Amino acid sequence: MNAPQILRGKEDMSEFDKDNPEFSDEHIEIPDDLSSLGKEGEAVDAELVAEEVGPGGEPTTGDLIEKLTAERDDYLKTLQQTAADFDNYRKRVNRQFQDAGDQKVEGLITKLLPALDNIELALAHSKENPELMSALSQISNGLLDILVKEGLEIIDTIGVDFDPTCHDAVMHEPGEGSAKVLEVLRSGYKWKQRVIRPAMVKVVGQG
């Protein structure tokens, strides 16, 4: 049975029809058999279902478990990588803060070394004044105790073998055997096992 035709006169044409003649009734073709449209829709639905469940039909429990396990492993791997990256970042930041703090403490200690030198010089010239020598010794010991707790270390000198890495020989006296420190002209210091100022010394022996 043919579909009924829709007849309209030119006087019934709307402004839209006049402006868009390609959409007018004369250009619209309505198929006689509309059942083919339903069949095409069913075919499309079947294709979509096939894509979702696969060629074997409904997914099995094993397939779902395998899929969920793979997703879980991916999430766990991502989480572990994120945790490792954060831990490395935390360690790097802590190390940077520690290094920055060490540099500041080292700079402060280096600035205090001339004060220690002046106290030592004053002690050397106060041997005839016991009261002054005692007061200076207390000041020197108190200051050294604080700095030693922060990592300062006095370089061993008297009687030890000359070591160019921590001794600065400014005077030399001939003698037998290897060079040894004979006299300390200015104390040397280490900070956290690193020489921040070599000891100025007089050595004796074969250099």
Q: Which residue has the higher pLDDT, 55 or 137?
A: 137
Residue 127 lies in a domain: no
Residue 171 lies in a domain: yes
Return d(Cα 175, Cα 204) in angstroms, integer: 6
pLDDT at site 82 = 94
Q: Is residue 147 exposed (0-12), middle (13-18) or buried (19+ Cβ within 10 Å)?
A: buried
Number of structural domains found in the chain? 1
Query: H or E element: which one contains 51?
Result: helix 35-53
Contact call for residues 181 and 167 (beta carbons, < 8 A): yes
Return d(Cα 155, Cα 196) in angstroms, integer: 10
Could you read off the pLDDT of 45-97 as tens digits, one per residue?
Answer: 555 444 444 455 566 888 888 888 989 999 999 999 999 999 999 999 999 98
Please name the amino acid found at residue 183: E
Residue 106 lies in a domain: no
Residue 92 lies in a domain: no
Return d(Cα 169, Cα 180) in angstroms, integer: 10
Return d(Cα 102, Cα 94) in angstroms, integer: 12
Residue 178 lies in a domain: yes
Contact call for residues 178 and 201 (beta carbons, < 8 A): no
Return d(Cα 147, Cα 109) in angstroms, integer: 7
pLDDT at site 38 = 52
Structural domain containing residue 193: 152-207
pLDDT at 9 over 50: no
Could you read off the pLDDT of 173-185 as tens digits, one per residue?
Answer: 888 888 889 988 9
Question: Chain-wide mean pLDDT for the chain?
Answer: 78
Residue 207 lies in a domain: yes
Return d(Cα 72, Cα 66) in angstroms, integer: 10
Could you read off the pLDDT of 143-169 as tens digits, one per residue?
Answer: 989 888 888 999 988 778 899 999 999
Could you read off the pLDDT of 86-131 as tens digits, one per residue?
Answer: 999 999 999 998 888 888 888 888 899 999 999 988 988 888 888 9
pLDDT at site 188 = 93
- Please tell me the total number of residues recorded for the chain in this structure: 207
Contact call for residues 186 and 203 (beta carbons, < 8 A): no
Helices of type H across 125-151 = 130-149
pLDDT at site 20 = 53
Of 154, 168, 150, whose CA–CA distance to 106 is shortest?
150
User: Model confidence at 18, in pLDDT bands (50, 70, 90)?
Assistant: low
User: Model confidence at 23, in pLDDT bands (50, 70, 90)?
Assistant: very low
* Model pTM score: 0.55
User: With b meaning 16 or more CB within 10 Å and e meaning fewer, what string describes 157-171?
Assistant: beeeebbeebbebee
Residue 167 lies in a domain: yes
CATH number at residue 195: 2.30.22.10
Percentage of residues in the chain having pLDDT higher than 90: 27
Q: In what order do the strands lie in the sheet with 189-191?
A: 152-154, 189-191, 194-197
Provide the token pair at 74.
Answer: 């991916």
